[in-house]
């Protein structure tokens, strides 16, 4: 700020470059904010102003800064009978259809080093096979992510790695629960007898101020992953970002 006062609140606005009007995306005291749901490979303009010392008026706007994201948005696969999707395809609702199985992401858009978040918007009746998680590949015809080449959390908080249940658990899902997945590559072991090497990932899954950390070992190197969910009963609604 140019004026001699201590900022207490900030107002951040953005717009697609040279189109439309600026709109508020954040007002508050934080000096960092992540803007979600923007289109990839398109320039956006950002500007910020501040106020403080009991002032009601905002300071002049900053010079606009231009930024863009190359990340493809996370989307659920369309056309799956058992689930209804939002217009952005980032929210899936388990409907009344008798068709079941795992709903996967449209593409393997999750990469090591990123954070993937599932937020439970609404809950239904539980089943021990219900789960959300990350996997190496889509496998149609399966009724759960509790299988090999996948890590997942069931609705009661049980954590499964390659189909095996871990000792440590997370809290059971409730409406508003957020479950985050973080992964980083640890080691890539040597290959033996042309069978491929061990690819080890350090996985952290967090929910309701609790976390589980473990190593996920795969028989092949994998740079990107699918995400998925499976719910047997209607009413479950999950947002991914």
Helices then strands, each counted (H, E), the chain: 0, 18
In a domain, 222, yes or no: yes
Q: Across residues 217-235, what is the average pLDDT? A: 92
Considering the domain boundaries, does residue 78 fall inside one?
no
Same domain, 99 and 37: no
Beta-bridge partners for 203: 183, 214
Lowest mean pLDDT among 4-18, 105-119, 188-202, 212-226: 188-202
Looking at residue 187, what is its pLDDT?
76
Query: How many domains would you assign to the chain?
Result: 2
Asked if residue 48 belongs to a domain, the reply is yes
User: Which residue pairs from 12-15 have beta carbons closer than 8 angstroms and sit at least 24 positions apart in sequence?
Assistant: 12/46, 12/47, 12/48, 13/46, 13/47, 13/48, 13/61, 14/44, 14/45, 14/46, 14/47, 15/44, 15/45
How sure is the predictor about 119, in pLDDT bands with cuts at 50, 70 and 90? very high
Name the most confidently modeled range: 71-75, 141-145, 174-178. 174-178
Q: Within this chain, do residues 151 and 90 fall inside the same structural domain, yes or no?
A: yes
Instruction: Confirm whether 76 is domain-assigned.
Output: no
Asked if the structure places residue 154 within a domain, the reply is yes
Same domain for 62 and 99?
Answer: no
pLDDT-wise least confident of 83-92, 124-133, 136-145: 136-145
Residue 191 has pLDDT above 70, yes or no: no
Residues 22 and 133 in one domain: no
Same domain, 126 and 31: no
pLDDT-based confidence at 133, cuts 50/70/90? Answer: very high
131 has a pLDDT exceeding 70: yes
- Give residue for tokens 């299988």: 147
CB atoms within 10 A of CB 145: 28
96 and 17 within one domain: no
pLDDT at 225 over 60: yes
Provide φ and ψ at 170, rounded to 5°: -110, 165
Identify which of 175, 222, 218, 227 has the alpha carbon closest to the alpha carbon of residue 198: 218
> Average pLDDT of the chain?
90
* 161 in the same domain as 55: no
Tens digits of residue pLDDT in 152-167: 999 999 999 999 999 9
Domain-ending residue, one of 69, 94, 116: 69
Residue 1 resides in a domain: no
Residue 130, in any domain of the structure: yes
Inform me whether the pLDDT recorded for 128 exceeds 80.
yes
In sign, the C-alpha dihedral spanning 17, 22, 23, 26 is positive
Any idea what the CATH number is for the domain that residue 28 is in?
A: 2.60.40.10
What whole-number distance in Å separates Cα of residue 9 and Cα of residue 14?
Answer: 17
* Residue 223: per-residue pLDDT: 84
Contact 27, 10 (CB under 8 A): yes
pLDDT tens track for 25-59:
999 999 999 897 788 889 999 999 999 877 889 99
The answer to the question of residue 75 being in a domain is no
pTM attached to this predicted model? 0.74
Say whether both 124 and 165 belong to one domain. yes
pLDDT tens-digit series, residues 92-108: 999 998 888 899 999 99
Structural domain including 65 reads: 7-69
Output the domain CATH number for residue 236.
Answer: 2.60.120.920
Strand partners, 201: 185, 216
The reply to whether 148 and 174 lie within a common domain is: yes
Please say if the pLDDT value at position 188 is more than 70: no
Q: Are residues 132 and 60 in the same domain?
A: no
* pLDDT in the model for residue 197: 55
């Amino acid at each position: 700020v140019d004026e001699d006062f201590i900022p207490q609140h900030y107002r951040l606005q953005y717009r697609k470059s040279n189109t439309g009007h600026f709109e508020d995306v954040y007002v508050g005291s934080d000096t960092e904010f992540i803007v979600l749901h923007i289109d990839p490979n398109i320039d956006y303009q950002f500007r910020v102003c501040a106020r403080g010392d009991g002032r009601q008026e905002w300071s002049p706007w900053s010079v606009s800064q231009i930024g863009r994201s190359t990340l493809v948005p996370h989307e659920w696969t369309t056309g799956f009978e058992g689930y209804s999707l939002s217009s952005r395809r980032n929210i899936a609702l388990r409907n009344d259809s008798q068709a079941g199985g795992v709903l996967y992401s449209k593409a393997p858009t999750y990469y090591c080093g990123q954070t993937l978040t599932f937020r439970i918007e609404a809950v239904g009746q539980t089943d021990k096979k219900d789960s959300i998680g990350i996997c190496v590949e889509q496998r149609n015809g399966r009724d759960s992510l509790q299988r090999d080449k996948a890590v997942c959390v069931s609705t009661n908080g049980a954590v499964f790695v390659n189909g095996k249940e871990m000792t440590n658990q997370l809290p059971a899902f409730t409406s508003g629960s957020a479950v985050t997945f973080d992964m980083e590559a640890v080691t890539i072991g040597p290959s033996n007898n042309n069978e491929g090497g061990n690819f080890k990932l350090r996985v952290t899954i967090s929910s309701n101020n609790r976390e589980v950390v473990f190593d996920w070992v795969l028989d092949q190197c994998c740079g990107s992953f699918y995400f998925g969910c499976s719910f047997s009963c209607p009413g479950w609604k999950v947002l991914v970002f």
